[in-house]
Amino acid sequence: MLMGALATFTLVALMGVMMVLSMARGLPPDPYYPRLHALAALIGSGLVIADAVGGDERLYLNIGLAVVIIALGLVMALASKKGKKIPKAVLIAHAGLAVACYGILAFFTFNPQATLI
Task: Write the pLDDT tens digit of every residue in 64-90.
Answer: 999 999 999 999 999 988 988 889 999
H or E stretch at 67: helix 60-81
pLDDT at 116 over 80: no
* pLDDT-based confidence at residue 52 (cuts at 50, 70, 90): very high
pTM, whole model, 2 decimals? 0.90
Task: Specify the amino acid at residue 66.
Answer: A
Share of residues in the chain with pLDDT > 90 (%): 82
Specify the length of the chain in residues: 117
Task: Write the pLDDT tens digit of every residue in 1-18.
Answer: 999 999 999 999 999 999
CA 61/CA 116 separation, integer angstroms: 9
Residue 29 main-chain phi, psi, to 5 deg: -65, 155
Helix, strand, coil distribution of the chain in percent, nearest 5: 80, 0, 20
